[in-house]
Amino acid sequence: MTIRELLIVGVVFNSYWLLAVIGQSHYQWLLVICLLGCWWFYRDAWRFALILGTAGISMDIVLSLLGLFQFHSVVLPFWLVMLWLGFGSFVWVTRHIIVVYSSYVVIGIGGLGGMLSYLAGYRLGAVNWPLGITVTALSLFACWLCFSALTLVLIRRYDTQKAEEV
């Protein structure tokens, strides 16, 4: 993947993120179309997205049930489920670049980036943080450090399986 392709994929995912967070229930149909389009072009992305998305959705459900954050309607809205599947697809598409970097760098950036994305969602009014910014941000940072480590394990497991098939 060239730098240009990486930038395009990054812009597409960030647009998808904005559509999910700002549009919430208004543009769910467009999120589904975008996700299906991604899975059409990247045939194996759906498997990885379902695995990683399930892990992320589970994390968010637990954090929501613990009262770390609250959504306006249900424990976990559909747009957030779609966001997790989109994130899993984004990781799939960029996995070859992710594994080039040190695990510590990837986990650190993942922890910070994950926490900042939730902070942005909070600032945009998509989620409430009943425990306050400091407690929630630190908790999310810790959760995303662990989630980023899990993501690396899943990527490497896939790479190992593919290498054994060849």
Domain that holds residue 132: 3-165
How many domains, the chain? 1
What is the pLDDT, as a whole number, of residue 17?
93
Distance, in Å, from the CA atom of 112 to the CA atom of 143, rounded to the nearest integer, reads 10
What is the pLDDT, as a whole number, of residue 6?
80
pTM of the model as a whole:
0.92
How high is the mean pLDDT of the chain?
91
Above pLDDT 70, what percent of the chain? 98
What is the pLDDT, as a whole number, of residue 71?
86
DSSP three-state, residue 58: helix
Contact of 128 with 69, CB cutoff 8 Å? yes
What is the pLDDT, as a whole number, of residue 20?
93
Residue 25 has pLDDT above 90, yes or no: no
Q: Which of 21-25, 89-93, 120-124, 125-129 has the lowest mean pLDDT?
A: 21-25
What are the pLDDT digits (tens) for 69-84? Answer: 988 777 789 999 999 9
Instruction: pLDDT band for 166, please (50, 70, 90 cuts).
Output: low
Residue 46 has pLDDT above 70, yes or no: yes
For tokens 């992305």, what's the residue?
45
Which of 155, 126, 119 is CA-nearest to residue 47? 155
Please enumerate in sequence order all residues whose Cβ is within 8 A of that of 1, keeping only pairs 6 or more positions apart, or say none: 9, 93, 94, 96, 97
